[in-house]
Structure 1
Amino acid sequence: MRSVILTILLPLLILVTAEPEGAYPEKEWCIADEQTPNDVLQQALDWACGFGGADCNLIQPNKPCYLPNTVRDHASYAFNSYWQKFKNKGASCYFNSAAMVTDLDPSHGPCRFETLS
């Protein structure tokens, strides 16, 4: 009898305690695609930090996101800054196919990548 009750109640208990889908929105970041050549990333980085309006202050020397000092790391920070700032206005995480969306937080050490989700 006890095993019959557990067989019936256990699935119900799991359903009741499970978090409803969509209750907590996924956090997402826009980062440089690993397969994109550095020259393409540099062009997209220059656009994001210039005309694009990304906040690139933290990837300057002696700032928290300067290291590692690579085009890929700096592009990831700039792409994410731009996308977080403008995604609610229709901006995409594309950058001429140089970027992609991830749900893995790219923050490292003192460098924090923002997310609005």
Structure 2
Amino acid sequence: MKAMAILSAKILLFYFLLCVSITPRSDAANEEKHWCVADEQTPDDVLQKALDWACGFGGADCRMIQKHNACFLPNTLKDHASYAFNSYWQKYKHQGGSCYFDAAAMVTDLDPSHGSCKYESLP
């Protein structure tokens, strides 16, 4: 009877260890990436105001959307706003910053990077 109890305990331990070893981990390598981009339905005046805030008071790094830099093209308000929104959100999301921008932005799991323009995604 004692041998059966020990065998049962070993089997349970084996299954426990097996389950733990195949359970997905939430480390940075396995986390899904997200970006903050401009909502295509947002009117231009709202996008412009949010872009100005993000690159100004918001503290986003908007150097890459300046002329002659990797994310200047395409030279559209939507693309520049998306880059600025994402820059702000990646920088401040763990400190309470949101991807809202007066309803001008949204979170996506589709990487908006294109060509040499790379959008950052931090865990």
TM-score range, shorter chain: 0.7 to 0.9
Q: State TM-score, norm by structure 1.
A: 0.82
**The one of 41, 47, 50 aligned to 2:47:** 41
Whether 1:76 and 2:85 are equivalent positions in the alignment is: no
Which stretch shows the higher mean deviation, 63-72 or 19-28?
Answer: 19-28
TM-score by length of 2: 0.78
The answer on 1:20 being equivalent to 2:12 is: no
Structure 1 residue runs of 5 or longer lacking an equivalent are: 1-14
The verdict on how the C-alpha distance between 1:18 and 1:77 changes in structure 2, with shifts beyond 3 A counting, is same
**Correspondence 1:57 to 2:59:** no
Q: How many residues align?
A: 103
Candidates 81, 94, 98, aligned match of 1:92: 98
- Following superposition, the deviation at residue 21 of structure 1 comes to 6.4
Query: Using the alignment, how far apart are the partners of 1:74 and 1:93 within structure 2?
Result: 15
Corresponding letter in the other structure for 1:32 = A
Shift of residue 39 of structure 1? 1.0
Which of the two has higher C-alpha Rg? 2
**1:15-43 CA distances to partner (integer Å, 9 max, x unpaired)?**
9x976264511100000001101111000
Amino acid at match of 2:75: N
Moved over 3 A (4+): none
* Structure 1 Cα separation of the partners of residues 36 and 53 of structure 2: 15
Q: Which runs of 5+ in 2 are unaligned?
A: 1-18
The percent identity for this pair of structures is: 68
